[in-house]
Structure 1
């Protein structure tokens, strides 16, 4: 395969490590008996307040690549670097029984390669769409969470970022409202969800088709309810959209909004935990039809522009999210996604169909408990209407090469090795190969190598 033939050094190293685990995986065909599973868990000590900090520095580079042409939203074909830095202060307090109030202050600085343009599966999931040379701060999250215990066996919450250590039961209702990221609650995955710790690519950390409501930094206002009963969970939420697609300003009255619903089933397979999540969402706001924009472009002789044909519409979508531990310290995951490709994407990125699969392996298997290695493959598609729009000179959220005479699926391979340097400190080596960036077979592939330093306390 073309994508395998062009793997960078980090990707090859990750595959070798994964291959090295194969004999151990075979030995684990019958899961090892875990004494801890038979023992009673030590109850969590409840917290009344907590604060945490994180800082993440990501340095990226790609060498020159083939490019027959380029446009306003293209990856530059010349050798390019990018560097982003962000830091977060998390502060939480428990004002009453079952309640939590959290606030996050974030600082940003730097630019991702090409200032976050060039591929639908963009290569830096921690880079804001608004890059600046000098540091600046924003309130990222400010929300209230209330948990109502409904009984059942203990299912304590371990202390974490934006979560106080808390004793709770497996059956419960959780209400969350305020400023947050939609993916704090929806489309979570143990192995592929955190660009500060695992995969970097936008379409690996969540379903590329989950066009979730957000400002340019990934946050919005909204509310969600979760009902946990046994091994099931049901979630629903409503969230505020930007005033126009891909804008930094949210509406002031929820006149444009998104509704998301998700069902989750947790289970064990051969003694190993897993989960399946199925969700749907509907976006309601002013959106432009791709074909309407193309027809107007033909009539006027100007490039296609969905901003000229926007009207209030609905744009639905669905995703399937799977995670499964298959041996001690070894997990596999996958996502499928689909949305209405007749209209422009609203907030996240330009993906109408997506499929991903990957594996994550803990370094404990070779005596490095703080290390993790992961590899994933993603295939993204844009609809036929979206292809016509891009070929007519249209620009999407992240893509737009000026024309698209030879469209193709965007193929992404990513591999990383995260080295635990000390408690709360990791250094990751990451390699991403993006074939047909922006769905364009006349450009690429782009081979992006990344170095990520992450501190968390």
Structure 2
């Protein structure tokens, strides 16, 4: 999630970005680069002098079937991304990412633990209607490329749990748990993007190690050495059968002060999580992926979002905050998901892709604050199925019909099966 920016800050950020663009525009001619080696053709960078620019607009139309309480809906969302990069030395560059968007889509209407429109969630949750700076960092390469560094305002959750076939909500799956597990299992940072540092060391071609540190409380810019959010990942790349593959193992340590013992005591706890994210190319045009993660099932996460004085839960005696039962999170103790990616080259449509995925969020039934027998008398593990067909018309435009099926939404087996059908248009420039 992203904190709401004031209009003045948004205008100022846009003005700074515009000044950078124009300062480079008048020093060098404009040229278009080839598509990035590792971006799957999704990003199309252009050079304006020393500045490298890429961007995209994502529009999503979704409708629902099976929502009993509030009724079925049809909603539309859009998001806008603009990425700016400029080399400042032979081994280093600065990068700035701006985002905007509007609409929360069907997310507000489906009582699921993993949302159906992850693209809209990231921008709408922070009210980013005008362009705002989501990332601004320095990236450097050292030791002949063995050591990589990123420092600044980062997409911290993007530093681990990556996946070649299930990683980008604007180009692949729309369901949150098929993009990354942060937010569906363990809580995201308070502002999603945050100041941090990430180091990646590659001792050999078949392995790399990533260490990331950030402050996840509030905007992340106050008391940055307190309440650390740490992530570590080992990626093994064995080149099985001569094919590309990644076998990632990661761990997360979250010391934010919004965790409590599951027995409702006021003791401050940290949260820990472990996961794996595998992707492997099987043959030309065929790839598989698997994810699994688990977190500490003895802690609760809470947020005093209501800010009231009513007592419906327990009092945090350490800070005199009132914690209401609806504010209690962490109902999931583990998750598993997997799927297949089929490239259109198999049927002579090289720019098309089919993705199929299935996953389950396993309830933490010891979390009685969430699974209160008077509220959810019949708990059941929430499951998600998604299939999409991405039609690639050219390097700049794709159209993706998408179908999702959600069972036991919210971990409640009494909820009806919900179907989400949608259409995503992606325009890259």
Q: Name the TM-score, length of structure 2 as normaliser.
A: 0.77
Deviations 1:18-64 (A, max 9, x none): xxxxxxxxxxxxxxxxxxxxxxxxxxxx9943011111011111023
Q: Distance in 2 between matches of 1:374 and 1:78?
A: 29
Q: Given the superposition, is the C-alpha separation of residues 116 and 186 from structure 1 closer, same or farther in structure 2, using an over 3 Å criterion? A: farther
Q: Distance in 2 between matches of 1:94 and 1:212?
A: 34
Q: Given the superposition, is the C-alpha separation of residues 282 and 131 from structure 1 closer, same or farther in structure 2, using an over 3 Å criterion? A: closer
Q: Which residue of 2 aligns with 1:119?
A: 112
- Unaligned regions of 5+ residues in structure 2, if any? 1-46, 304-328
Q: 2:133 aligns with which of 109, 116, 139?
A: 139
Contact 1:111 1:133 in 2 (8 A): no
Q: Secondary structure at the match of 1:229?
A: strand
1:284 is aligned to 2:289 = no
Contact 1:285 1:311 in 2 (8 A): no
Q: Which residue of 2 aligns with 1:55?
A: 57
Q: Which residue of 2 aligns with 1:335?
A: 291
Contact 1:211 1:345 in 2 (8 A): no
1:426 is aligned to 2:398 = yes
Tell me the CA shift for residue 210 of structure 1: 6.0
- Unaligned regions of 5+ residues in structure 1, if any? 1-45, 68-75, 151-168, 244-248, 294-308, 394-401
Q: Which residue of 2 aligns with 1:403?
A: 375
1:242 is aligned to 2:217 = yes
**Structure 1 residues 32-431: aligned runs within 5 Å:** 48-65=50-67, 67=68, 76-115=69-108, 118-128=111-121, 130=124, 135-150=129-144, 169=145, 172-207=146-181, 211=186, 213-216=188-191, 218-230=192-204, 231-243=206-218, 249-250=219-220, 252-254=222-224, 255-289=226-260, 291-293=262-264, 311-345=267-301, 350-386=331-367, 388-392=368-372, 403-431=375-403
Q: Distance in 1 between matches of 2:345 and 2:105?
A: 32
Q: Given the superposition, is the C-alpha separation of residues 95 and 346 from structure 1 closer, same or farther in structure 2, using an over 3 Å criterion? A: farther
Q: Distance in 1 between matches of 2:237 and 2:282?
A: 14
Contact 2:107 2:117 in 1 (8 A): no
Contact 1:93 1:100 in 2 (8 A): yes
Deviations 1:142-180 (A, max 9, x none): 011111143xxxxxxxxxxxxxxxxxx5xx100111112
Q: Distance in 2 between matches of 1:195 and 1:430?
A: 12
Q: Distance in 2 between matches of 1:349 and 1:140?
A: 26
Q: Secondary structure at the match of 2:299?
A: coil
Q: Distance in 2 between matches of 1:253 and 1:324?
A: 41
Contact 1:222 1:239 in 2 (8 A): yes
Q: Given the superposition, is the C-alpha separation of residues 137 and 337 from structure 1 closer, same or farther in structure 2, using an over 3 Å criterion? A: same
Q: Distance in 1 between matches of 2:118 and 2:107?
A: 14
Deviations 1:161-209 (A, max 9, x none): xxxxxxxx5xx10011111212332111110000000011111111356
Tell me the CA shift for residue 127 of structure 1: 1.5
Q: Given the superposition, is the C-alpha separation of residues 332 and 110 from structure 1 closer, same or farther in structure 2, using an over 3 Å criterion? A: same
Contact 2:352 2:390 in 1 (8 A): yes
Q: Name the TM-score, length of structure 1 as normaliser.
A: 0.72
Q: Which has the higher contact order (CA 8 A, sep 6+)?
A: 1
Q: Distance in 2 between matches of 1:259 and 1:124?
A: 27
Q: Secondary structure at the match of 1:285?
A: coil
Q: Given the superposition, is the C-alpha separation of residues 345 and 321 from structure 1 closer, same or farther in structure 2, using an over 3 Å criterion? A: farther
Q: Distance in 2 between matches of 1:349 and 1:313?
A: 13
Contact 1:116 1:122 in 2 (8 A): no
Aligned residues: 354
Tell me the CA shift for residue 228 of structure 1: 0.8
